[in-house]
Structure 1
Amino acid sequence: MSSLRAKIQDVFNEPACEQNRGKDAKARKEGCSKPLTPGAAAGGCAFDGAKIVLQPITDVAHLIHAPLACEGNSWDNRGAASSGPTLWRTSFTTDLTELDVVMGQGERKLFKAIREIKEAYRPPAIFVYPTCVTALIGDDIEAVCKRAAEKFGLPVVPVNAPGFVGSKNLGNKLAGEALLEHVIGTVEPDDAGPYDINILGEFNLSGEFWLVKPLLDRLGIRVRACIPGDARYFDIACAHRARAAMMVCSTALINLARKMEQRWDIPFFEGSFYGVTDTSEALRQISQLLVKKGADPEILGRTEALIEEEEAIAWKKLAAYRPRLEGKRVLLNTGGVKSWSVVHALMEIGIEIVGTSVKKSTVEDKERVKQMLKNDNHMFEQMTPRELYAMLSEHKADIMLSGGRTQFIALKAKTPWLDINQERQHPYAGYDGMVELVRQIDLAIHNPIWCQVREPAPWDCQPAVREELPRTKSEAATLHAVQEFAGTTADDFGEC
């Protein structure tokens, strides 16, 4: 537990974080996130954050040393995609019971589970995650993992991020620490080259990194490791031989990028693959970093030629949507890198941003938003569901882009909604991804269903009664009886 405490303090003292450098020593020890309330799992715990970062490593067996519910609540919590191995889709847990806890059988059960996985699946590595229960009872997973690695002849990596130590973001960083300590640098590649790069904080949600990788391939740039999206264990183990790195989500893995730069001299920058301009700028910065590290300067010319060609294609496709979307108002309720990267992407085609959430954004992210929107009046740290509903029901936005948890607010307000978070079904990265994002926004806004749901319901309208004589005496008697019962006459009914 003392080693875990030291890791947490090291993560809190992150020198690459602009906001962290401005704090005094006491405030720095408290970290970035609000303390968790026991029993309140909304937003995720540290274990959940570590699992998010590491589970997309697709050929690894991810073993949860905990009661069954811990694995059930964390499995498949993101829409990451794999181009090959499917082992990461198999759920492994020691399924610790009350009897195991009372009798002290946790470590023995963990060792047995590692052996069973090794014999049945033969993965290149096994990642072991403790949770609150196993950490509190004192199971020494590091010792068990070390003994199992010696016994079975494969890497067994302890990911020491039990849920009670902090927030999901802290778990992201502790996962990066586990990779640094036990994985990266453990294998020497025999094919290292001057055009190798790492992509950090890219999760390949809905396979969107596959829209970017072909661009890098055309430039002769090889992605040595994409951490964690569609990753393989040995690619990550060789990641220390890359020449440059791009950080996609700094709030998750800034510590990993900084320490890799310190240990192996791998320079990095933070960029985005959302939007035409940002994608082009990211390709330029990658090429420039590679040239600084010794690559042939001719790659700069090839990069500009590729950008010119791809931008022309993208703008031609987007031109068809501009007349339909220019001036439309978007409310963006997300966070992190999307708080500014998606903003910039939408503004490029004339869409107006009426508000963007910056609840998970760094100081640099917020500064970018201010520069794009020219002020901070459209930025909000937290907007309650009541406030979101009021804004949408008053028609201050034509569409809301957010995660699944707030979709029903938009639907209740009879406002179009599009999923922009990890559960999304469409890839939005790169040039083709930008076209797809605009296409989905256009489909959502101009869907004819919105005209229908905004009309008054049939039961809210009382149809007019035509003043005509009934055809029969029985019809006249029935109508008279109904009117007497209701205390009305035909003249009391009006148009809706």
Structure 2
Amino acid sequence: MKNTQVAINELLSETPCKSNQKKFTGQKKLTCTKPPQPGATQGNCPFDGAMVSVGAITDAVHLVHGAVSCTHNPWATHGSLSSGSQLYQTAFTTDFSEGNIVFGGEKKLYKAIVAVAQRYHPAAIFVYATCLSALIGDDIDSVCQLARQQVNIPVIYVNAPGFLGSKNLGNRIGNETLLNAVIGTAEPEFTTPFDINIVGDYNVAGETWNILPLFQKMGIRVLSKITGDARYQEVCYAHRAKLNVVLCSNVAIQMAQTMAERYGIPYIEESFYGATNLNDCLRNVAAKLSISLEDSVIACELQERTEKLIAQENAALDIALAPYLADLKGKRIILSTGGVKSWSLILAAQDLGMEVIAATDGKTTEEEKAKIKQYLGADAMLLSDTTPQALLKVLHQTKADVLITGAGNKYTALKTGIPFLDINHERHHAYASYAGLVVLARELHEALYSPIWEQVSKPAPWDEKISYQL
């Protein structure tokens, strides 16, 4: 993929989202983000975003063509887990030196590709451009093509250097790479009328593993996971699914739209967080698959299995949540996240009897913003300014009980002395599915009722007035 400005603008287009589809052409929002401004914080870089989208393919080598320091962020902070190969957890880099900057790094890259192919025998090798290798003009694509003939496995170029813009753009470049170089290059051993893809989920803390048994009980096969706990081969034959279930619209909606155009695969946008969301998701998947089934009896059986499963899981969920609901009821939450979590966690909190009084709208599509406004209600606040100063002000004004946030704003919670829950990618707790809602309830309960908050809210001993008795 050549990252011209035209290509970048196409990746930032929001036309696939439902809210844009309802508008006339002249009213459609052209892009989902502003172009990067010098000196402005972009929320990590495109290279990091591409690593999130592609780097969760577990049996592939992910080779960073650049300085060794570029490898630390994706591997150190992203909590995508694997049920098989751990090769994706090994950091590979060409380790740029000053000499490479002067004379180029193409020969070094070629040798690195051959070496890792011979030593690790991966299913594929993804080569990532970085700021250094892109700025000096290394022809990475040609090197990948030449090395592919030598090692006889796919060698795929991911062109997302850090200076292009935001992390969100990198997510979309990664997806575009999979669409153009991976998906459609192999065939599954067999297909069924109940094959689906999960798109935009990265198995953070093992959340995908909470979901797969539910689909299995419904009689639905997850053909491909894009890309949490994925194998390279399953991504290759993702084009044979009957339905794409999109979880993170912010980064995956265009991939689903492109697959709909190329392969005729319909898609739905869903969430696995909270019982209400998950109940709707399972029903929608069953209903969408039923449309394509020629046998009405089989379609009815699928929907019956779905309703039976939902009833069983919700009954068990009520029992599991019982110890927490009384203490969580009425607690007030400020939600500072991004993407699908910005709206889906609102319903998850309501399932626990809690109230979201404010939410941020960063890294969300126009449709997701509409959902946030709908779920929050008329009295709640939608926050566009997510700086620590703005969030501190809202925390003081609203006297919220807990802050649910990513990695950055947990320090804001510490400054105000209120409980917080960190749900960023490096977390170790899975909050998806019915089982995940129980974990969420337990974690929120532990955060709210930890004795540490009472201790840190007291004045320091040296600030207390000491009375002396004569």
Deviation at 1:265, TM superposition (A): 1.3
Partners in 2 of 1:14 and 1:332 — Cα distance?
24
Counterpart in the other structure of 1:135: 134
What letter corresponds to residue 46 of structure 2 in structure 1? A
TM-score (norm 1): 0.89
2:42–2:165 CA contact under 8 A, matched in 1: no
CA contact (8 A) 2:413 2:420 kept: yes
1:308 paired to 2:311:
yes
The answer as to whether partners of 1:64 and 1:94 remain within 8 angstroms in 2 is: yes
Letter in 2 for 1:323: A
Structure 2 residue 189 is matched with structure 1 residue 186: no
Partner of 1:218: 217
Q: Among 363, 367, 372, which residue is 1:364 paired with?
A: 367
TM-score normalised over the length of structure 2: 0.94
Shift of 1:394: 5.5
Match of 1:339 in 2: 342
Distance in 2, Cα, partners of 1:405 & 1:64? 25
The residue matched to 1:188 in structure 2 has which SS?
Answer: coil
SS in 1 for 2:400: coil
CA deviation profile, 1:115-137 (whole Å, cap 9, x unmatched): 00101100010001111222222
Give the CA deviation at 1:172: 0.7
Q: Is the 8 A contact 1:4 1:160 kept in 2?
A: no
Aligned 1:400-415 pairs, distance under 5 A: 400-415=403-418
State the partner residue of 1:209.
208
Higher RCO (CA-CA < 8 Å; seq separation 6+) = 2
Indicate the residue corresponding to 1:487 in structure 2.
none
* Cα pair 2:184 2:239 within 8 Å, conserved: yes
Contact 2:13 2:32 (8 Å CA) reproduced: no
Residue 279 of structure 2 corresponds to residue 276 of structure 1: no
The gaps in structure 1 that reach 5 residues or longer are 468-496
Matches within 5 A, 1:98-247: 98-104=98-104, 106-247=105-246
Partner of 1:398: 401
Identity %: 44
Q: Deviations over 1:432-484 (max 9, x none)?
A: 101110111111111122222222322222332223xxxxxxxxxxxxxxxxx
Shift of 1:376: 7.0
CA distance in 2, matches of 1:166, 1:281: 35
2:198, 2:225 within 8 Å by CA — same for their partners in 1? yes
* Aligned residues of 1:186 and 1:237 also touching (Cα < 8 A): yes
**Shift, 1:259, TM fit:** 0.8
Counterpart of 2:467 in structure 1 is 464
User: Does residue 354 of structure 1 match 2:366?
Assistant: no
2:444 match: 441
The CA distance in 2 between the partners of 1:168 and 1:174, in whole Å, is 10
- SS of residue paired to 1:400: strand
Q: What residue in structure 2 maps to residue 480 of structure 1? A: none
For the pair shown, the structure with the greater C-alpha radius of gyration is: 1
Residue of structure 2 in register with 1:289 after alignment: 288
Q: 1:470 corresponds to which residue?
A: none
The 1:2–1:52 alpha-carbon spacing in structure 2 relative to 1, beyond 3 Å, is: closer
Contact 1:370 1:376 in 2 (8 A): no
Query: Residue 36 of structure 2 contacts residue 42 of structure 2 at CA under 8 Å; is this kept in 1?
Result: no
How far the C-alpha of 1:339 sits from its partner, in A, is 1.1
CA contact (8 A) 2:357 2:380 kept: no
Task: Name the residue aligned to 2:264.
Answer: 265
Give the letter for the 1:50 counterpart.
A
User: How far did 1:356 drift?
Assistant: 0.6
1:310-357 per-position Cα deviation (integer Å, ceiling 9, x unaligned): 011112222332211111111111121111100011012221112111
Counterpart contact for 2:429–2:439, Cα < 8 Å: yes
Shift of 1:26: 12
